[in-house]
Amino acid sequence: MDKERIEKAVKEILIAIGEDPEREGLRETPRRVAEAMEELLAGYEKREEDFTVFEDKSDGVIILRDIPIFSFCEHHLLPFIGKAHIAYLPNGKIAGISKLVRTIEKYSRRLQVQERLTKEIADELMERLNPKGLVVVIEAEHLCMTLRGVRSPGSVVVTYQARGIYEDESLSRSILSLFGK
């Protein structure tokens, strides 16, 4: 990430909104914003890191619920914040919880739209684990919706991807009920 360029751009924004970028409180702001962006958008740097998979013969569904998630709406560069839920029915392979969380971070710490984010997480988990079935649900509040425009605080966007046997509507509905949806 070109932090120097971000700093210059932030300074330009400060000038454009009529502020004085040299005043005490703002002098370090471009640098701080650049550092924050580097951290919050670190998903671009994530390469094909090791994704350890264990052989496992368990045949019950594995559910990871209420994983905190934040990302950035690519239309407004404002955050959307919420929770992700994953359920999969293993097909001989399972993954550690941290690997699932890291997969979510890899795709969420980028400029995103929630629908694509949900799909990218589902695609990667299908490729890594090849489960018999998979459901990924993300529910998030978009600050671009709640702070501006139609201003609907508290409204939550829910996106959903089902793969394998859970593409069957009645099966996926029973999984969603396990998420409390």
**What residues line the site for Zn ion (CB under 5 A)?**
73, 75-76, 144
CB closer to Zn ion out of 73 and 87: 73
Tokens, residue 67: 């994983």
Q: Is 135 exposed, middle or buried (0-12, 13-18, 19+ CB in 10 A)?
A: buried
CB closer to Zn ion out of 31 and 76: 76
Tokens, residue 39: 């951290």
Q: Find the shortest distance in angstroms from Cβ 158 to Zn ion.
A: 16
CB closer to Zn ion out of 25 and 150: 150
Buried b (16+ CB within 10 A) or exposed e, 24-43: eeeeebbeebbeebeeebeb
Q: Find the shortest distance in angstroms from Cβ 33 to Zn ion.
A: 19
Q: Find the shortest distance in angstroms from Cβ 75 to Zn ion.
A: 4
